[in-house]
DNA sequence: TCAAAAGTGTTACTGATACACCCATGG
DNA sequence: CCATGGGTGTATCAGTAACACTTTTGA
């Protein structure tokens, strides 16, 4: 940071790219946009855009998320999560010019109708893993985002960001099962969640029929806890030689 | 990422900032440089510099680290760790111009003599937490880096990056105790480390006197494991309401 | 012979897993 | 009355914490 020279640096474009996840019909979905022009015309890409002169990357990401989904920003408010992932800066990641992209992961509850964004050609929720190769280095960004979300499910209450304001423990469990692609014991899951203070809060008298069959389930709200002690570990997915981050 | 217009974006300067840690004499130290000019002239700052036109942020960080410490780059080679932290992009973080900085955390073994860098006014290892407020938002970057390193010590074999190529378990334990600012039971520490396959590898016949007193200790090398199962948890530092990341 | 640090053993406790079992509802 | 999912109880097991104990060195 010594010796600033206004002309010593190459001008970079700085963008944000968003990996926006939701759980719909028991499957993990990602919000993607179809590119209308070269390069990668016709291919799917992550939504994103330029960081404006008076914005931080976080502000730009919140704005883009709102434009694409119609959801309010709010990095902390009711069910909605936006988190910086990392920055991708390989010199050749965009063939046209030097673009440094700050990637974000976002988690939203199910049914935000795809609100055709201001500049988006076509935006759609697609099941995670289904579309072929994405544009640019977006396959890698998406994979990194997925890893991060999976990992954070273990030691944070992040899963509630995928749920509506009021949810049953069965619904919360299905979110975990969907994201982790694993089966969890309902009894033990219940105990762990309820045994962690601040993870969820019971809604006194309420109960919800769970789609016909079965006993009506009690309703819960997301609690104030951000980190879970002890963590909620996923079953056998843990490899003794897995990568750390 | 739709509608690129070469002139629609504000030119940003992109820099890297490095939080370089080492453990020396039982204390955690950080490499800092003294600023020679305004703003923040005379204050300490994190080392860093511009990302050059043909570099990724990772390459630039490795180059800066080598310039400041004289150590080779090598994100994976023997004892030396360089990892992207996150990106800081508040519009007013540098009063002169728009600068987006990609921050990195680096861990190096003890005695790299401070190699006065090409542009560094004065670089010094200072105990973590001692210097007053740093320039720019570097206090926050340094705190974020420290949090990250502490957390990664729990579930990765990262601590060996602070050790020389051959080390005793007592030395490795002191690294943990220094970084966590906590005391660990030598017996249990030993069992956990040796019980985790791939964390450390015994060097057959070797032993080292541990500075006079005590039984000579067996020597070990860093093993190939990057993630630890089960994790090595720090004692009572865990707060039930701590922040996640 | 004493202090210090390495290294071994043992016990008590906590949390996870697995599974059996009861409850309430719709078909 | 049966299938389905909510909810409770409980035995077993693995991993941790705490601490007693032996070994080997320098002073």
Find, among B29, B34, B209, the residue nearest to B110 by Cα.
Answer: B29
Q: What is the mean pLDDT of chain B?
A: 86
Q: If you measure CA to CA, which chain B residue comes closest to A224?
A: B241
Orientation of helix B186-195 relative to helix B169-180, angle to 10°: 110
Average pLDDT over residues B197-205: 92
Residue limits of CATH 1.10.10.10 in chain A: 156-222
> Are A180 and A234 spatial neighbours (Cβ–Cβ below 8 Å)?
yes
The CATH code that applies to domain B155-222 is 1.10.10.10
CA A232 – CA A239 distance, rounded (Å):
16
Interface size, chain A vs chain B, as Cβ–Cβ contacts under 8 Å: 160
Q: Is the peptide bond before A230 cis (omega within 30 degrees of 0)?
A: yes
Residue limits of CATH 3.90.79.10 in chain A: 13-153
Condensed to tens digits (0 to 9), the pLDDT of residues B144-168 reads 999 999 999 999 999 999 999 999 9
Mark yes or no for CB contact A14/B13 under 8 Å.
Answer: no
Percentage of chain A beyond pLDDT 90 is: 70
Candidate from A67-71, A101-105, A153-157 with smallest mean pLDDT: A67-71
- Cβ neighbours of B57 in A, within 8 Å: 87, 89, 100
Helix (H), strand (E) counts: chain B: 4, 9
pLDDT of residue B22: 95
Give B25's contacts (C-beta < 8 A, 6+ positions apart).
none
Residue B78 has pLDDT above 60, yes or no: no
Given CA atoms B67, B73, B77, B82 in this order, what sign does their dihedral have?
A: positive
CA B15 – CA B43 distance, rounded (Å):
19
Residue limits of CATH 3.90.79.10 in chain B: 13-139
Find, among B142, B202, B110, the residue nearest to B17 by Cα.
Answer: B142
- Long-range contacts: A186-192, Cβ < 8 Å, 24+? A189/A232, A192/A232
Condensed to tens digits (0 to 9), the pLDDT of residues A204-240 reads 887 877 776 889 999 999 999 999 988 999 986 434 3
B171 CA, D24 C1': Å apart: 18
- List the single residue in A8, A56, A152 with the smallest CB-CB distance to B244: A152
Average pLDDT over residues A119-146: 90
Residue A167 has pLDDT above 50, yes or no: yes
Mark yes or no for CB contact A226/B240 under 8 Å.
Answer: no
Nucleotides of C under 7 A from a protein CB: 3-10, 15-20, 23-27
Range 159-198, chain A: CB under 7 Å to any strand D atom: 168-170, 186-188, 190-191
pLDDT of residue B241: 35
B185 CA, D17 C1': Å apart: 9
Average pLDDT over residues A143-172: 95
For residue B214, give how far its alpha carbon lies from the nearest alpha carbon of chain A (Å). Answer: 35
Average pLDDT over residues B83-108: 96
Element (H, E) at A150: helix A138-155
Residue A68 has pLDDT above 60, yes or no: yes
Residue limits of CATH 1.10.10.10 in chain B: 155-222
A193 CA, D16 C1': Å apart: 22
Candidate from B8-12, B110-114, B129-133, B238-242 with smallest mean pLDDT: B238-242
pLDDT of residue A214: 84
CA A146 – CA A140 distance, rounded (Å):
10
Condensed to tens digits (0 to 9), the pLDDT of residues A86-130 reads 999 999 999 999 999 999 999 999 866 665 554 556 889 999 999
Tokens of B241: 């309401």
- List the single residue in A3, A90, A243 with the smallest CB-CB distance to B56: A90
Range 188-227, chain A: CB under 7 Å to any strand C atom: 188, 191-192, 195, 209, 212-216
Q: How confident is the model at residue A241 (pLDDT cuts 50, 70, 90)?
A: very low
Tokens of A113: 């109708």
Residue A79 has pLDDT above 70, yes or no: no
> Are A29 and A125 spatial neighbours (Cβ–Cβ below 8 Å)?
yes
Condensed to tens digits (0 to 9), the pLDDT of residues B118-133 reads 455 688 999 999 987 9
pLDDT of residue B112: 60
Nearest-CA residue relative to C1' of C3 = B213
Average pLDDT over residues A125-143: 95
Nearest-CA residue relative to C1' of D17 = B188
Average pLDDT over residues A76-86: 79
- List the single residue in A56, A97, A156 with the smallest CB-CB distance to B89: A56
pLDDT of residue B86: 98
> Are A116 and B73 spatial neighbours (Cβ–Cβ below 8 Å)?
no
Considering the domain delimited by A13-153, tell me its CATH architecture.
Alpha-Beta Complex (3.90)
Higher pLDDT, B176 or B3: B176
Higher pLDDT, A84 or B72: A84
- List the single residue in A2, A14, A91 with the smallest CB-CB distance to B121: A2
**B13-139, what's its fold?**
Nucleoside Triphosphate Pyrophosphohydrolase (3.90.79)
pLDDT of residue A114: 65
Average pLDDT over residues A12-40: 94
Distance from the Cα of residue B76 to its chain's centroid:
14
Give A41's contacts (C-beta < 8 A, 6+ positions apart).
A35
**Is any atom of strand C within 7 angstroms of residue B213's beta carbon?**
yes
Domain A156-222, CATH number (from 1.10.1040.10, 3.30.160.60, 2.40.50.100, 1.10.10.10): 1.10.10.10
Q: How confident is the model at residue A80 (pLDDT cuts 50, 70, 90)?
A: confident
Average pLDDT over residues B35-56: 93
Q: How confident is the model at residue B238 (pLDDT cuts 50, 70, 90)?
A: very low
């Amino acid at each position: 940071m010594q010796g600033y020279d206004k002309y010593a640096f190459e001008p970079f474009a700085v963008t944000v790219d968003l990996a926006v996840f939701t759980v719909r019909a028991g499957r993990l979905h990602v919000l993607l946009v179809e590119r209308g022009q070269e390069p990668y015309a016709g291919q799917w890409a992550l939504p994103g855009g330029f960081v404006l002169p008076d914005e931080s990357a976080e502000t730009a990401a919140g704005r883009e998320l709102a434009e694409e989904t119609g959801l309010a920003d709010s990095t902390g408010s009711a069910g909605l999560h936006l988190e910086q992932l990392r920055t991708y800066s390989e010199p050749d990641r965009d063939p046209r010019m030097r673009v440094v992209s700050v990637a974000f992961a976002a988690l939203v509850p199910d049914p935000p109708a795809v609100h055709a964004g201001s500049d988006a050609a076509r935006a759609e929720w697609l099941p995670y893993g289904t579309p072929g190769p994405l544009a640019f280095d977006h396959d890698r960004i998406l994979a990194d985002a997925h890893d991060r979300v999976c990992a954070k499910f273990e030691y944070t209450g992040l899963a509630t960001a995928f749920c509506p304001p009021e949810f049953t423990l069965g619904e919360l469990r299905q979110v975990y099962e969907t994201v982790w692609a694993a089966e969890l014991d309902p009894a033990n899951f219940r105990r762990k969640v309820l045994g962690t203070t601040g993870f969820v809060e019971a809604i006194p008298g309420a109960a919800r029929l769970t789609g016909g069959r079965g006993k009506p389930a009690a309703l819960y709200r997301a609690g104030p806890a951000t980190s879970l002690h002890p963590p909620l570990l996923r079953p056998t997915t843990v490899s003794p030689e897995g990568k750390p981050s």
